[in-house]
Amino acid sequence: MGDDAVFARVLQFLRAATATNRLRGETYGLIGGRSMGMYTAQSPLDQWQRQFGIDVEHIDQFEIVRRSELVPADRVESGFRWIEKHVGQIHYDGKKLTPELLKRQIRSYHAVRDLVDEWRLDFCGIKGQPEMTDHFATMDLAEAFLNDPYDWEGPHDPIVCATEADMDGALTMELFKHIAGTPVLFADVRHYDAADNVWDLCNSGQHATYFAGRSFDPAVNLPKVRFYPEIIYFPAGGASVAHIAAPGQVTLARLARRQGRYWMAIIPAEFVEFPEEVAWQKAAATTPEWPHAFARFRVSADEFLSEYDSNHIHGVYGDYVQELVWISKILGMDCRVFA
Protein backbone atom coordinates (compact mmCIF):
# COMPACT_ATOMS: atom_id res chain seq x y z
CA MET A 1 0.00 0.00 0.00
CA GLY A 2 3.02 2.27 0.26
CA ASP A 3 3.36 2.14 -3.53
CA ASP A 4 1.52 5.12 -5.03
CA ALA A 5 0.42 3.16 -8.10
CA VAL A 6 -0.98 0.31 -6.01
CA PHE A 7 -2.73 2.72 -3.66
CA ALA A 8 -4.30 4.55 -6.63
CA ARG A 9 -5.68 1.27 -8.00
CA VAL A 10 -7.10 0.35 -4.61
CA LEU A 11 -8.84 3.74 -4.40
CA GLN A 12 -10.37 3.19 -7.84
CA PHE A 13 -11.91 -0.06 -6.67
CA LEU A 14 -13.06 1.41 -3.35
CA ARG A 15 -14.77 4.35 -5.06
CA ALA A 16 -16.58 1.94 -7.38
CA ALA A 17 -17.61 -0.45 -4.61
CA THR A 18 -18.78 2.39 -2.39
CA ALA A 19 -20.78 4.01 -5.21
CA THR A 20 -22.47 0.70 -6.03
CA ASN A 21 -23.32 -0.03 -2.39
CA ARG A 22 -24.73 3.45 -1.87
CA LEU A 23 -27.37 2.79 -4.52
CA ARG A 24 -28.92 0.05 -2.39
CA GLY A 25 -31.77 1.45 -0.35
CA GLU A 26 -32.00 4.66 -2.36
CA THR A 27 -35.27 6.05 -3.73
CA TYR A 28 -35.72 7.65 -7.15
CA GLY A 29 -38.54 10.14 -7.60
CA LEU A 30 -40.24 9.77 -10.98
CA ILE A 31 -42.05 13.10 -11.23
CA GLY A 32 -44.60 13.10 -14.04
CA GLY A 33 -43.85 9.79 -15.80
CA ARG A 34 -42.73 9.18 -19.36
CA SER A 35 -41.91 12.27 -21.42
CA MET A 36 -43.04 12.51 -25.05
CA GLY A 37 -43.19 8.74 -25.52
CA MET A 38 -39.48 8.21 -24.75
CA TYR A 39 -39.77 4.54 -23.80
CA THR A 40 -35.97 4.20 -23.66
CA ALA A 41 -35.93 6.77 -20.82
CA GLN A 42 -38.10 4.55 -18.58
CA SER A 43 -36.71 1.53 -16.79
CA PRO A 44 -38.36 -1.59 -15.34
CA LEU A 45 -39.01 -1.08 -11.63
CA ASP A 46 -38.47 -4.73 -10.76
CA GLN A 47 -35.10 -4.72 -12.52
CA TRP A 48 -34.00 -1.64 -10.59
CA GLN A 49 -35.01 -3.31 -7.33
CA ARG A 50 -33.27 -6.56 -8.19
CA GLN A 51 -30.08 -5.29 -9.83
CA PHE A 52 -29.45 -1.98 -8.03
CA GLY A 53 -31.59 -2.11 -4.88
CA ILE A 54 -33.39 1.13 -5.82
CA ASP A 55 -37.07 1.89 -5.14
CA VAL A 56 -39.10 4.23 -7.37
CA GLU A 57 -41.78 6.63 -6.18
CA HIS A 58 -44.22 7.99 -8.79
CA ILE A 59 -45.26 11.59 -8.15
CA ASP A 60 -47.61 13.66 -10.29
CA GLN A 61 -46.27 16.88 -11.84
CA PHE A 62 -49.29 18.70 -10.46
CA GLU A 63 -47.57 18.56 -7.10
CA ILE A 64 -44.98 21.01 -8.44
CA VAL A 65 -47.75 23.37 -9.56
CA ARG A 66 -49.68 23.04 -6.31
CA ARG A 67 -46.71 23.41 -4.00
CA SER A 68 -45.35 26.36 -5.98
CA GLU A 69 -48.24 28.48 -4.74
CA LEU A 70 -47.37 27.62 -1.14
CA VAL A 71 -43.83 29.02 -1.23
CA PRO A 72 -43.68 32.20 0.90
CA ALA A 73 -43.41 35.40 -1.14
CA ASP A 74 -40.38 36.67 0.79
CA ARG A 75 -38.51 33.45 0.04
CA VAL A 76 -39.23 33.89 -3.68
CA GLU A 77 -38.18 37.56 -3.61
CA SER A 78 -34.93 36.65 -1.90
CA GLY A 79 -34.12 34.12 -4.64
CA PHE A 80 -35.12 36.56 -7.37
CA ARG A 81 -32.87 39.33 -6.02
CA TRP A 82 -29.96 36.89 -5.67
CA ILE A 83 -30.35 35.72 -9.27
CA GLU A 84 -30.61 39.26 -10.64
CA LYS A 85 -27.49 40.24 -8.71
CA HIS A 86 -25.27 37.30 -9.64
CA VAL A 87 -26.33 35.95 -13.07
CA GLY A 88 -24.25 37.55 -15.82
CA GLN A 89 -27.06 38.32 -18.26
CA ILE A 90 -30.85 38.03 -18.02
CA HIS A 91 -32.54 38.66 -21.36
CA TYR A 92 -36.10 39.63 -20.44
CA ASP A 93 -38.31 39.91 -23.50
CA GLY A 94 -41.67 40.73 -21.91
CA LYS A 95 -43.22 37.50 -23.25
CA LYS A 96 -41.34 34.23 -22.76
CA LEU A 97 -39.11 35.57 -19.99
CA THR A 98 -40.48 38.06 -17.48
CA PRO A 99 -39.77 38.64 -13.78
CA GLU A 100 -43.06 36.90 -13.02
CA LEU A 101 -42.10 33.78 -15.00
CA LEU A 102 -38.67 33.72 -13.40
CA LYS A 103 -40.30 33.86 -9.98
CA ARG A 104 -42.57 30.98 -11.00
CA GLN A 105 -39.47 28.94 -11.81
CA ILE A 106 -38.00 29.85 -8.41
CA ARG A 107 -41.22 28.65 -6.80
CA SER A 108 -40.98 25.43 -8.83
CA TYR A 109 -37.46 24.82 -7.55
CA HIS A 110 -38.61 25.12 -3.94
CA ALA A 111 -41.58 22.85 -4.72
CA VAL A 112 -39.27 20.10 -6.01
CA ARG A 113 -36.95 20.51 -3.01
CA ASP A 114 -40.05 20.10 -0.82
CA LEU A 115 -40.96 16.87 -2.64
CA VAL A 116 -37.39 15.57 -2.26
CA ASP A 117 -37.50 16.19 1.48
CA GLU A 118 -41.02 14.88 2.10
CA TRP A 119 -40.65 11.71 0.04
CA ARG A 120 -37.02 11.22 1.13
CA LEU A 121 -35.86 11.04 -2.46
CA ASP A 122 -32.17 10.45 -3.15
CA PHE A 123 -32.39 11.48 -6.81
CA CYS A 124 -35.15 12.30 -9.24
CA GLY A 125 -36.33 13.10 -12.75
CA ILE A 126 -38.96 15.52 -14.03
CA LYS A 127 -41.13 14.80 -17.08
CA GLY A 128 -41.59 18.46 -18.00
CA GLN A 129 -42.82 18.04 -21.56
CA PRO A 130 -45.45 18.75 -22.66
CA GLU A 131 -47.67 19.70 -19.70
CA MET A 132 -45.25 21.94 -17.79
CA THR A 133 -43.56 23.41 -20.85
CA ASP A 134 -46.90 24.13 -22.54
CA HIS A 135 -48.94 25.45 -19.63
CA PHE A 136 -46.83 26.36 -16.57
CA ALA A 137 -43.09 26.98 -17.04
CA THR A 138 -40.00 25.00 -17.97
CA MET A 139 -38.12 23.20 -15.23
CA ASP A 140 -34.72 24.36 -16.50
CA LEU A 141 -33.93 26.56 -13.52
CA ALA A 142 -35.08 23.91 -11.04
CA GLU A 143 -33.02 21.19 -12.73
CA ALA A 144 -29.91 23.38 -12.92
CA PHE A 145 -29.93 24.41 -9.25
CA LEU A 146 -30.92 20.96 -7.99
CA ASN A 147 -27.80 19.56 -9.66
CA ASP A 148 -25.72 22.51 -8.42
CA PRO A 149 -23.87 22.51 -5.06
CA TYR A 150 -25.63 25.77 -4.06
CA ASP A 151 -28.67 27.96 -4.50
CA TRP A 152 -29.72 31.42 -3.26
CA GLU A 153 -30.08 30.03 0.26
CA GLY A 154 -26.53 28.69 0.48
CA PRO A 155 -24.54 25.50 -0.19
CA HIS A 156 -26.32 22.15 -0.53
CA ASP A 157 -25.40 18.64 -1.59
CA PRO A 158 -26.10 18.29 -5.32
CA ILE A 159 -29.39 16.49 -5.94
CA VAL A 160 -29.27 14.53 -9.17
CA CYS A 161 -32.26 15.51 -11.30
CA ALA A 162 -32.71 14.28 -14.87
CA THR A 163 -34.76 16.16 -17.41
CA GLU A 164 -37.42 14.28 -19.41
CA ALA A 165 -37.59 11.89 -16.44
CA ASP A 166 -34.71 9.91 -17.97
CA MET A 167 -34.29 7.08 -15.46
CA ASP A 168 -31.14 5.53 -16.91
CA GLY A 169 -29.67 9.00 -17.23
CA ALA A 170 -30.44 9.75 -13.59
CA LEU A 171 -28.93 6.41 -12.54
CA THR A 172 -25.73 7.13 -14.47
CA MET A 173 -25.56 10.56 -12.86
CA GLU A 174 -26.13 9.14 -9.37
CA LEU A 175 -23.22 6.74 -9.82
CA PHE A 176 -21.03 9.61 -11.02
CA LYS A 177 -22.04 11.71 -8.01
CA HIS A 178 -21.09 8.91 -5.61
CA ILE A 179 -17.72 8.46 -7.37
CA ALA A 180 -16.69 12.07 -7.81
CA GLY A 181 -18.71 14.02 -5.23
CA THR A 182 -19.38 16.81 -7.74
CA PRO A 183 -22.29 17.94 -9.91
CA VAL A 184 -22.88 15.75 -12.95
CA LEU A 185 -23.52 16.78 -16.55
CA PHE A 186 -26.72 15.89 -18.40
CA ALA A 187 -26.65 16.65 -22.11
CA ASP A 188 -27.76 15.63 -25.58
CA VAL A 189 -25.21 14.34 -28.08
CA ARG A 190 -26.32 17.18 -30.30
CA HIS A 191 -23.80 18.04 -33.02
CA TYR A 192 -20.38 17.05 -34.33
CA ASP A 193 -18.14 19.92 -35.41
CA ALA A 194 -15.79 18.21 -37.84
CA ALA A 195 -13.66 21.31 -38.42
CA ASP A 196 -12.48 21.38 -34.81
CA ASN A 197 -13.20 17.72 -33.96
CA VAL A 198 -15.51 18.55 -31.07
CA TRP A 199 -18.97 17.40 -30.05
CA ASP A 200 -21.48 20.00 -28.92
CA LEU A 201 -23.17 18.48 -25.86
CA CYS A 202 -26.19 20.55 -24.88
CA ASN A 203 -29.69 20.13 -23.45
CA SER A 204 -32.46 22.61 -22.65
CA GLY A 205 -30.98 24.45 -19.68
CA GLN A 206 -30.18 21.23 -17.84
CA HIS A 207 -26.48 21.77 -17.09
CA ALA A 208 -25.71 22.78 -13.52
CA THR A 209 -24.23 26.30 -13.43
CA TYR A 210 -21.21 24.66 -11.72
CA PHE A 211 -19.94 23.75 -15.19
CA ALA A 212 -19.69 27.41 -16.25
CA GLY A 213 -16.66 27.94 -14.01
CA ARG A 214 -15.97 24.50 -12.55
CA SER A 215 -16.32 25.97 -9.07
CA PHE A 216 -18.33 25.31 -5.90
CA ASP A 217 -18.56 29.09 -5.52
CA PRO A 218 -21.56 30.65 -7.32
CA ALA A 219 -19.68 33.97 -7.49
CA VAL A 220 -17.24 32.30 -9.90
CA ASN A 221 -19.82 30.52 -12.07
CA LEU A 222 -22.86 32.75 -12.31
CA PRO A 223 -21.24 35.77 -14.00
CA LYS A 224 -20.61 33.42 -16.95
CA VAL A 225 -24.30 32.36 -17.08
CA ARG A 226 -26.98 33.82 -19.33
CA PHE A 227 -30.74 33.48 -18.87
CA TYR A 228 -32.53 33.47 -22.23
CA PRO A 229 -36.25 33.31 -23.03
CA GLU A 230 -37.30 29.74 -23.79
CA ILE A 231 -37.38 28.63 -27.41
CA ILE A 232 -40.49 28.19 -29.56
CA TYR A 233 -41.05 24.57 -28.50
CA PHE A 234 -41.76 25.64 -24.89
CA PRO A 235 -44.68 28.08 -25.13
CA ALA A 236 -45.17 28.42 -21.35
CA GLY A 237 -41.83 30.21 -21.21
CA GLY A 238 -39.35 30.78 -18.44
CA ALA A 239 -35.59 31.13 -18.36
CA SER A 240 -33.23 28.81 -20.20
CA VAL A 241 -29.98 28.59 -18.22
CA ALA A 242 -27.20 29.00 -20.78
CA HIS A 243 -23.42 28.93 -20.45
CA ILE A 244 -20.29 27.33 -21.93
CA ALA A 245 -18.67 24.54 -19.88
CA ALA A 246 -15.23 25.29 -18.48
CA PRO A 247 -12.32 23.35 -20.02
CA GLY A 248 -10.74 20.28 -18.50
CA GLN A 249 -10.39 16.52 -18.57
CA VAL A 250 -13.74 14.75 -18.23
CA THR A 251 -15.14 11.26 -18.07
CA LEU A 252 -18.42 10.78 -19.92
CA ALA A 253 -20.66 7.72 -19.68
CA ARG A 254 -24.14 6.31 -20.13
CA LEU A 255 -26.00 3.27 -18.85
CA ALA A 256 -28.03 1.78 -21.69
CA ARG A 257 -29.94 -1.43 -22.33
CA ARG A 258 -29.79 -4.03 -25.08
CA GLN A 259 -32.49 -6.69 -25.00
CA GLY A 260 -33.14 -5.86 -21.35
CA ARG A 261 -29.52 -6.11 -20.21
CA TYR A 262 -27.63 -3.07 -18.99
CA TRP A 263 -24.27 -2.10 -20.40
CA MET A 264 -22.13 0.99 -19.86
CA ALA A 265 -20.56 3.23 -22.48
CA ILE A 266 -17.48 5.02 -21.10
CA ILE A 267 -15.94 7.93 -23.03
CA PRO A 268 -12.69 9.59 -21.87
CA ALA A 269 -12.78 13.14 -23.21
CA GLU A 270 -11.80 16.76 -22.74
CA PHE A 271 -13.95 19.87 -22.61
CA VAL A 272 -12.31 22.29 -25.03
CA GLU A 273 -12.16 26.06 -24.56
CA PHE A 274 -12.64 28.50 -27.43
CA PRO A 275 -12.52 32.31 -27.32
CA GLU A 276 -15.86 33.49 -25.97
CA GLU A 277 -17.09 34.93 -29.27
CA VAL A 278 -16.13 31.76 -31.15
CA ALA A 279 -17.77 29.54 -28.52
CA TRP A 280 -21.11 31.35 -28.79
CA GLN A 281 -20.88 31.28 -32.59
CA LYS A 282 -20.52 27.51 -32.37
CA ALA A 283 -23.44 27.38 -29.92
CA ALA A 284 -25.56 29.24 -32.48
CA ALA A 285 -25.13 26.30 -34.88
CA THR A 286 -27.56 24.40 -32.65
CA THR A 287 -29.51 26.21 -29.89
CA PRO A 288 -27.72 29.24 -28.43
CA GLU A 289 -30.27 29.55 -25.61
CA TRP A 290 -29.10 26.25 -24.13
CA PRO A 291 -25.90 25.40 -22.19
CA HIS A 292 -23.05 23.88 -24.18
CA ALA A 293 -20.03 21.70 -23.51
CA PHE A 294 -17.59 21.30 -26.40
CA ALA A 295 -16.09 17.85 -25.94
CA ARG A 296 -13.21 16.24 -27.82
CA PHE A 297 -13.34 12.44 -27.76
CA ARG A 298 -10.40 10.09 -28.24
CA VAL A 299 -12.46 7.89 -30.54
CA SER A 300 -13.51 8.76 -34.08
CA ALA A 301 -16.99 10.11 -34.75
CA ASP A 302 -17.86 7.14 -36.97
CA GLU A 303 -16.81 4.58 -34.37
CA PHE A 304 -18.66 6.39 -31.59
CA LEU A 305 -21.90 6.76 -33.55
CA SER A 306 -21.84 3.14 -34.69
CA GLU A 307 -22.06 1.79 -31.13
CA TYR A 308 -23.31 4.48 -28.73
CA ASP A 309 -26.90 3.72 -27.77
CA SER A 310 -28.40 6.97 -26.49
CA ASN A 311 -29.17 10.57 -27.33
CA HIS A 312 -28.26 11.53 -23.73
CA ILE A 313 -24.80 11.56 -22.17
CA HIS A 314 -23.45 12.36 -18.68
CA GLY A 315 -20.13 13.12 -17.07
CA VAL A 316 -17.86 14.79 -14.53
CA TYR A 317 -14.47 16.47 -14.52
CA GLY A 318 -11.56 14.11 -13.90
CA ASP A 319 -10.49 10.61 -14.89
CA TYR A 320 -12.89 7.98 -13.53
CA VAL A 321 -12.66 5.42 -16.33
CA GLN A 322 -11.35 2.61 -14.13
CA GLU A 323 -13.98 3.30 -11.47
CA LEU A 324 -16.70 2.85 -14.10
CA VAL A 325 -15.08 -0.34 -15.37
CA TRP A 326 -15.10 -1.68 -11.81
CA ILE A 327 -18.74 -0.67 -11.35
CA SER A 328 -19.63 -2.61 -14.49
CA LYS A 329 -17.83 -5.69 -13.16
CA ILE A 330 -19.46 -5.43 -9.73
CA LEU A 331 -22.93 -5.12 -11.29
CA GLY A 332 -22.31 -7.88 -13.82
CA MET A 333 -22.62 -5.59 -16.84
CA ASP A 334 -20.67 -5.32 -20.07
CA CYS A 335 -18.88 -2.06 -20.71
CA ARG A 336 -17.13 -0.40 -23.63
CA VAL A 337 -14.41 2.21 -23.25
CA PHE A 338 -14.48 4.45 -26.32
CA ALA A 339 -10.77 5.27 -26.51
Residue-wise pLDDT for 82-138, tens only, equals 999 999 999 999 999 999 999 999 999 999 999 999 999 999 999 999 999 999 999
pTM higher than the cut 0.85: yes
pLDDT band at 205 (very low <50, low <70, confident <90, very high): confident
For 131, the domain range is 4-337
CATH code (residue 223): 3.20.14.10
Residue 247 has pLDDT above 80, yes or no: yes
3-state SS, the chain, equals: CCCHHHHHHHHHHHHHHHHHHHHCCCEEEEECCCCCCCHHHCCCHHHHHHHHCCEEEEECCHHHHHHHCCCCHHHHHHHHHHHHHHCCEECCCCCCCCHHHHHHHHHHHHHHHHHHHHCCCCEEEECCCCHHHHHCCCCHHHHHHHHCCEECCEECCCCCEEECCCHHHHHHHHHHHHHHCCCCEEEEEEEEECCCCEEEEECCCCCCCHHHHCCCCHHHHHHHCEEEECCCCCCCCCEEEECECCCEEEEEEEEEEECCEEEEEEEEEEECCCCHHHHHHHHCCCCCCCCEEEEEECCCHHHHHHHCCCCEEEEEECCCHHHHHHHHHHCCCEEEECC
pLDDT band at 41 (very low <50, low <70, confident <90, very high): confident
Q: How many domains does the chain have?
A: 1
